[in-house]
Structure 1
Amino acid sequence: MRYFISTKESKRNENGLIPVSVIFRDSRKEFAVSTGIMAKYPLSGVLFAQNEPNSKAKTKRLVRIIDGIDKFLLEHEGMEYERLKEGLRTLITGREPKSKQTLVDCIRKYAAEKKESTKQTYLRAAIMVERFDSKATFTSVDKAWLDRFVRCMGDGASVNYKALILQKVRSVFNWGLDNGLTSNYPFRRYKIKTEKTPIDNISVEQLRAIRDCQLDEYKAVYRDFFMLTFYLCGINPADLLTLKDENLQNGRIRYRRKKTGKPYDIPVPPEAMEIIRRYKGKDWLLFPLDTNASYRHYYRHWREGLKQIGTREVVKRAHGPGRPSARYQPIVDNLTVYTARYTFASIGAELEIPRETIALCLGHSWADVTSHYIAYNTKRIDDAVRKIIDYVNGDKA
């Protein structure tokens, strides 16, 4: 697409000023966009006449517009004509078309393209934005808007939760830029604040206490699944509960992580296989989804069960004849499903297993981990898993 600057005498208004416009041509199609700059004298290229009022300021503004056009055309080469036209109008005028969808609409549209687990986070962001400013558009959002939005989320939301919501809004802006829906990007110099949180791991002694504590049949299932998560390299609950029989072959579990879509290959040590056989499912590798509508439904029960398992009876006292009562001491203040994952990594670090090997076990990417060394990487994972489990089993009675 070609363009040039136009100042037509025929457009001179009653005050004697000519609007400065950009004319775009693509094959036989042509459209004009006003820059909002008015000139007393016709332009020569992009330079205003020396006797033009505020000539330097007008020239500087026009040059910025042209730089923006060049960058936009370069980044959106091959884009469909109407979308390119709309994007250029927005870039030059700074105004979204009246028919433009709201930011909330755009977040929901973007969320629809994501996997279910990721989609829910974007939909939460859409709800937060709608509560704050349901009429917000790509153009109306600036740094001041973002600051007000953060304050609106209130003190009840953690710093990292606010950061998560802002990151989702930022992703939608990046999507809007890539697709020519906006040229406004308020995150360019906006720092999203986060804070470090304590790693939710437990000690080897606490892990052994959980593994060995006496529980009724109902709670024992939640504890056993917790330990299975640990034995399987801290596997994500969404992945664990949706495994099929075909994912388990020749003593290994092979699947694609729901979070990343990448293939994953981990060993199934005897400790894990014993639990899998105990809780074998009919339609799934494990039984929960045979009777639960989704893994999320079971996960909520699992999460609550683990909170209860985090305490155990340590002393019994009698308060009067025949009236025994129990005093409880927590093993873990807040035991969660993800504690198994963090603890696996923590014990690996304690045993001085290389960080890149721990990353492989957890399914994270690492700079020197490539498909050319799959066999080598698999052995690294297998050796690490066995070393970690043997360490945990070391003091077992």
Structure 2
Amino acid sequence: MAIFKAIVRTKRKDGFYQVYIRCVHNRKPGYIKTDKLVTDKQLDRNGDIDDPFVNEYCARRILEFTQRLNRKEIGKWTVKQVVDFLAMEDEDLCFSDYARLHIDRMRDRGQVRNARNYELALQHLERYAGTTRVMFAQLISTWVNNWIKDLEMTARAKEMYPVCMRQVFREAVKEHNDYDNNVVRIKTNPWPKVKIPQADRAEKRAISAEECRRFFSVALPESLSSRPKGELGRDVAMLVLCLAGINTVDLFNLKKSDYRHGVIAYKRAKTKKSRADEAYIEMKVEPILLPLFEKYRADDKDPYLFNWHKRYADSDSFGANANAGIKDVCKALEIPEDRRYCVYTFRHTWGTIAQNDCGASISEVGFAMNHSGGHNITRGYIKPDFSPAWELNAKVVEFIFFSNAPSKQGAAQDLNHPKNEDRQFRLSPKKLVYARAYFRGELLAEVTDIGFSNVDEVMARLATKFPDTIPPGCSVYFRIKDVDADIEVVYERTKGKGF
């Protein structure tokens, strides 16, 4: 049993006494320092504390200590263990230290790429705080919301970084707070009052088969390097496109043991830890890729299939160099900087062409691209037949590289091209026009007639039938159809400007 008493020890040079709570356990004394100070005037003739406020504070602390110890078996504890246990709750934990420990544990579990995201999030948090020792007590909702506001100009980090740090916080609470025994070392929880924004929706990066053919047929830019990035970029793009959109990290990590009888078998690094089937897939290597397999094949004694790990430190470096090379090829094609491709362009393109031009369903595309498709548990039970994915991949390769058939997205780009806008919809007095006007979803007027030279004349005719109750500045939508050509366009005009 531990016995407590509020005491002072030696006088400091400034004339104050530090207040301690003495703990006697198994006849041995220990001392717990408080933040209270007293002078000689606050002590009685026996040297005991005589200040009512200090005594009240110490009494509350002693009651709290007693309640906490009553929940533990401390008979065999030393007095130091008792003191350390009681003082532990008062010490503010370092969030940065725990986050680094959490990240190291992730790496030990093989979650290297996820650990990197957590590390980037912690680094940004520490830069914002101006210290590498961010404390848990510092993480209040106002401060965290201000940190997230500092991320608002980013596309993805504004969601990913806070989510990572929230997960670290939750794991720390599980580890350090023992609510059953009333041990609460992390007292703050900002996350219920923190609003995490959604990441910007990823831009659809797919390009047409026509653009693919142009990309892979262009002369590579000249380079003094024996290993030009443009060549690497084009080769990696070809591998990604002809292996059903494989990720660069999976290409980088392929082993010789993963390539058997013309088929590569691997577990997708991004999702293998979160899926019952470990994101396993087999993909047949099409003949068009065999020269590249030979070109980058590693030495016989090397366990890796390709030699990239000798040239690049890790898969991130490999991916970055591949993307830089792809952009070099795009520059040679005089593609504007804001429209240049990356590795993911060719992954997205595979899925788009498979669905739009090769007649695959979305579920078939997802299966071939190794998405779980909402059947995560089921895929862990069965040994799937991957041959349908091989057949679909062969169709995509055939369509892009061994035909000149126009792709649907290529046709769509032609239709949407600004230069073709007028060519696609022009009126003449001989054409039959069917036009309607809508305000807040309600049909205002319609007309079917000939004799219109342009769309402005059609809209002017419709406007004569509008009621006077439409407020100035409100929008009306005009649907105008060239009946003869079976083409319809929609225009928006506002009262006071357009009509």
| TM-score exceeds 0.5 | yes
For 2:231, the equivalent position in structure 1 comes to 220
- Post-superposition Cα deviations, 1:98-122, rounded to whole Å, max 9, x if no partner, equal 2x43222222111112233222222
Can you give the 5+ residue segments of structure 2 that lack an aligned partner in the other structure? 1-50, 76-80, 178-185, 222-226, 273-277, 406-499
- For 2:355 and 2:368, the matched residues in 1 are separated by 12
Change (3 A) 1:348 1:187: farther
For the 8 Å contact 1:177–1:183, the answer to whether it is kept is: no
Shift of 1:193: 0.5
Q: CA deviation at 1:170?
A: 1.0
Q: Any idea what SS the aligned residue of 2:176 has?
A: coil
Q: Does 1:28 align with 2:76?
A: no
- Residue equivalent to 1:200: 205
Q: Distance in 1 between matches of 2:398 and 2:388?
A: 15
Contact 1:233/1:361, CA 8 A, preserved across alignment: yes
User: For the residues of structure 1 that align with 2:155 and 2:325, how far apart are their CA atoms?
Assistant: 28
Q: Please, what TM-score do these two structures have when normalized by structure 1?
A: 0.67
**Counterpart in the other structure of 2:352:** 346
**Which structure 2 residues correspond to residues 299-314 of structure 1 after superposition, within 5 A?**
299-312=319-332
The Cα shift of 1:228 comes to: 0.6
Give the one of 162, 165, 168 matched to 2:164: 168
User: Residue type of the partner of 1:123?
Assistant: E
Counterpart-to-counterpart distance in 2, 1:159 and 1:356: 28
Pick closer, same or farther for the CA change 1:149–1:391 going to 2, 3 Å: same
Indicate the residue corresponding to 1:130 in structure 2.
Answer: 126
Q: Pick closer, same or farther for the CA change 1:380–1:180 going to 2, 3 Å.
A: farther
Structure 2 equivalent of residue 391 of structure 1: 399
The CA distance in 1 between the partners of 2:370 and 2:321, in whole Å, is 26
What letter is aligned with 2:353? Answer: I
- What are the superposed Cα offsets for residues 160-216 of structure 1, whole Å, 9 maximum, x if unpaired? 222221111111012113323536432234331122231222222211211222226
- In structure 2, how many angstroms separate the alpha carbons of the residues matched to 1:198 and 1:384? 25
Q: CA deviation at 1:249?
A: 0.6
Matches of 2:329 and 2:138, distance apart in 1: 50
User: Quick check: 1:233–1:344 contact (8 Å CA) kept in 2?
Assistant: yes
- The amino acid across from 1:248 in the alignment is Y
Q: Is the 8 A contact 1:159 1:193 kept in 2?
A: no
Q: Kindly indicate whether the alpha-carbon contact (under 8 Å) linking 2:330 and 2:341 is maintained by their aligned counterparts in 1.
A: yes
Cross-structure match for 2:145: 147
Q: 1:259: how far off?
A: 2.4
- Separation of aligned partners in 1, 2:246 and 2:401: 20
| Residue deviations 1:242-290 (CA, integer Å, cap 9, x gap) | 2121110122111233323323322222223332123322233223223
2 CA distance for matches of 1:236 and 1:183? Answer: 42
Q: Does 1:274 align with 2:283?
A: no
Equivalent residue number for residue 365 of structure 1: 372
Task: Give, in whole Å, the separation in 1 of the partners of 2:364 and 2:264.
Answer: 18
1:254 is aligned to 2:259: no
CA contact (8 A) 1:210 1:331 kept: no
Q: Deviations over 1:365-389 (max 9, x none)?
A: 222351343233x133223222322
Verify: 1:229 aligned to 2:246, yes or no. no
Return closer, same or farther for 1:295/1:196 CA change in 2, 3 Å cut-off.
closer
Q: Is the Cα contact below 8 Å between 2:231 and 2:325 reproduced in 1?
A: no
Deviations 1:56-86 (A, max 9, x none): xxxxxxxxxxxxxxxxxxxxxxxxx99xx88
Residue of 237, 242, 249 corresponding to 1:238: 249
Cα separation, 2, equivalents of 1:185 and 1:364: 35
In 2, Cα distance between equivalents of 1:174 and 1:244: 37
Kept in 2, the 8 Å contact 1:241–1:288? The answer is: yes
Q: Measure the CA separation in 2 of the matches of 1:185 and 1:203.
A: 49
Between 1:238-247 and 1:291-300, the stretch displaced more is: 291-300
Q: Compared with structure 1, are the counterparts of its residues 386 and 331 closer, same or farther at alpha carbon in structure 2 (3 Å cutoff)?
A: farther
Distance 2:208 2:72 in 1: 70
| Secondary structure of the corresponding residue to residue 200 of structure 1 | coil
Provide closer, same or farther for how the CA distance between residues 173 and 332 of structure 1 changes in structure 2, counting only shifts above 3 A: closer
How far has the Cα of 1:226 moved from its partner?
A: 0.8
Would the aligned equivalents of 1:104 and 1:129 in 2 still touch at CA under 8 Å?
no
Tell me the amino acid that sits aligned with residue 209 of structure 2. V
Partner of 2:340: 334
Distance in 1 separating the partners of 2:353 and 2:176: 48
Offset of residue 337 of structure 1: 1.4
Number of residue-to-residue matches in the alignment? 308
Identity value in percent: 19
Distance 1:331 1:152 in 2: 27
Cα distance in 2 for residues equivalent to 1:302 and 1:214? 17
For 1:275 and 1:260, how far apart are their aligned partners in 2?
27
Counterpart CA distance in 1 for 2:348 and 2:174 is: 36
Secondary structure in 2 matching 1:374: coil
Largest Rg, 1 or 2: 2
Judging changes above 3 Å, is the alpha-carbon distance between structure 1 residues 128 and 205 closer, same or farther for their aligned structure 2 residues?
Answer: same
